[in-house]
Amino acid sequence: MTDDDHMRAAIALARTQLGKTGLNPSVGCVIVAGGAVVGQGVTQAGGRPHAEEQALDQAGEAARGAVAYLTLEPCGQRSTGTASCSERLVASGIARVVIACTDASTYASGRGTERLRTAGLKVELGLLETEAGSLYADYQPPRT
């Protein structure tokens, strides 16, 4: 399967929760290691847990050296004060993160991707951005 195929799978996951995630956007995450899906998640009802948390929990040690496909930039800070998704991705040992869309939220807005890059992860932005972007047409990100 290609990067496009894995991102389309993440987009399909995100579509399943549209309108059910409260103020949070519905995000899809697929983690692939050695060509096989080892973890996947989607933002749950009310906005918690986040897609990345579920996918990383499912992947466990298989996340080391793997690729994460995200429909939206991972959070760089959590409103709850717990570890952000970008912190969790770094700690998991993920090697590469492919992101469809950036997030203008004050909790993300480049902070998540910057943390990933600073930690040495390969980050790619914009894969299937138009297709994934339709998921967020009505999303109103929090701003300060």
Q: Does residue 142 form part of some domain?
A: no
Instruction: Give the structural domain span for 25.
Output: 3-136
96-101, strands of its sheet edge to edge: 36-42, 28-33, 67-72, 96-101, 122-125
Mean pLDDT, to the nearest integer, of 47-56?
96
Residue 53 lies in a domain: yes
Number of structural domains (the chain) is: 1
Predicted pLDDT of residue 107: 80
Dist. CA 100–CA 106, nearest whole Å: 18
pLDDT attached to residue 106: 79
Distances (CA, A) of 119 to 31, 64, 92, 134: 18, 14, 12, 30
Evaluate whether residue 143 is within a structural domain: no
Residue 129 is assigned to a structural domain of this protein: yes
Q: Whole-number mean pLDDT of the chain?
A: 94
Nearest residue to 14 via CA among 137, 141, 140? 137
Give me the pLDDT at residue 144, please.
Answer: 58
Specify the pTM: 0.95
Q: Which of 52, 53, 73, 87 is catalytic?
A: 52
Share of the chain above pLDDT 70, in %: 99
Q: What is the CA radius of gyration of the chain?
A: 13
Tokens at residue 58, please? Answer: 């499912």
| Position 24 in a domain | yes
Q: Does 88 map to a domain? A: yes
Let me know if 61 is a catalytic residue: no
Q: Which of 35-49, 54-68, 78-92 has the lowest mean pLDDT?
A: 78-92
CA distance 132 to 127: 9
Query: 82 CB contacts (<8 Å, ≥6 apart)?
Result: none
CATH number where 106 lies: 3.40.140.10
What is the per-residue pLDDT across 25-44, written as a single tens digit (0 to 9) for each? 999 999 999 999 999 999 99
The answer for residues whose C-beta is within 8 angstroms of residue 138's C-beta and 6 or more apart is none
Looking at residue 66, what is its pLDDT? 98
Q: Is there a domain that residue 141 lies in?
A: no
